[in-house]
Amino acid sequence: MPQESRPTEKFRTSVGGQALMEGIMMRGPEKICCAVRRPDGTLDLTYSEVHTHWYNRVPLVRGVFNMVENLYNGYHYLMHSADVSMTEEEQQAEESKLDRWLDEHTGPKFQNALMAVSACLGIVLALFLFTFLPTFLTGLVSRALPLGRWTKVLLEAALKLIIFLSYLFLCTRMKEIHRMFQYHGAEHKTIACYEAGEELTVENVRKHTRFHPRCGTSFMILVILISIFLYAVLPWTRTALRIVYKLALLPLLVGVCYEILKWSGRSNSLLARAIAVPGLWLQRLTTFEPTDDMIEVAIAAVTPVLPRRPEEGRW
């Protein structure tokens, strides 16, 4: 990447990414690059083009479509990184009879459909944990104890936050997830180095913060917090009916949170900084300090996707 492609002053860029198993996916205005460390220490680099759709220009609607697209692409690159980063012995141990049958008897379209189904199952699990379960538990408590409407709202909000934070904390206890969160830190530090207008070297990247206001973690906690206020107005006549109302409002919730995060990522106002605080705090659970070889992967992933002129990639 030519030297002049780096910004000359600190600014917000649209370049973003995702941590993978022993790798990082970076997305720029025009291209996506996925860099994964092979077992022999070399890097596997794969590229794809970024396509602009009609919904990218429609407020509220773009948030929902972008979330679905990012979930699908994220799962695709995560599975790719798992394949690349495993040794042949590990692949043979992990591969089941079903996997071998699918490889022999199905084509790319069917396998892509399976990935889409897997991504949908992930959404269903998230809905169960953070939408259904808090409401269901609150309904159980209200049957045993006489609770007022706002007491149930507050209890549901507390349970939602407890479940969410406990889920993230338990994830950090897993060795593979902890390493992936280190790659998450490498992704953030590398983007921060680029936004500061510095040359992308391991030494320069390492001195930057692993916390970034424009992050998927920030989006998740924003959805949780906004949902508490949005769902507070819903009736509590029946637990099942409340869950239906919450599911019906979910697209609006996602769209609103996306627009808020997009605005706060562009603004330096006091309100924007306040909105970023919960996400930055939560990144203490989802990002960890990376090793130098992880930073090298992040640099390799981000370099090909940087815009030719920095102003083309402004957030």
Residue-wise pLDDT tens digits, 236-279: 878 888 889 999 999 999 999 999 988 887 888 899 889 999 99
8 Å CB contact between 207 and 289: no
pTM (2 d.p.): 0.84
String of DSSP letters for 41-58: S-EEEEEEE----GGGGS
d(Cα 207, Cα 298) in Å, to the nearest integer?
15
Is the pLDDT at 94 greater than 60? The verdict is: no
Give residue 314's pLDDT. Answer: 59
Give residue 3's pLDDT. Answer: 40
Give the tokens for residue 295: 């930073």
Residue-wise pLDDT tens digits, 48-81: 999 888 888 899 999 999 988 888 888 889 989 9
Q: At what angle do helices 216-231 and 239-266 cross, to 10 degrees?
A: 130
pLDDT bracket for residue 90 (50, 70, 90): low
pLDDT bracket for residue 7 (50, 70, 90): low
> Which one, of 222, 232, 248, 79, lies nearest residue 156 by Cα?
232
What is the DSSP-derived secondary structure letter of residue 71?
H
pLDDT bracket for residue 315 (50, 70, 90): low
Is the pLDDT at 17 greater than 50? The verdict is: yes
- C-alpha distances in Å from residue 84, one per residue of 35, 39, 70, 182, 186: 10, 8, 21, 18, 19
> Which one, of 282, 212, 224, 215, lies nearest residue 254 by Cα?
224
pLDDT bracket for residue 6 (50, 70, 90): low
d(Cα 94, Cα 115) in Å, to the nearest integer?
17
Rounded (10°) CA dihedral 85, 89, 94, 96: 130
Sequence-distant (≥ 6) Cβ neighbours of residue 151 within 8 angstroms: none
Give residue 305's pLDDT. Answer: 94
Is the pLDDT at 299 greater than 90? The verdict is: yes
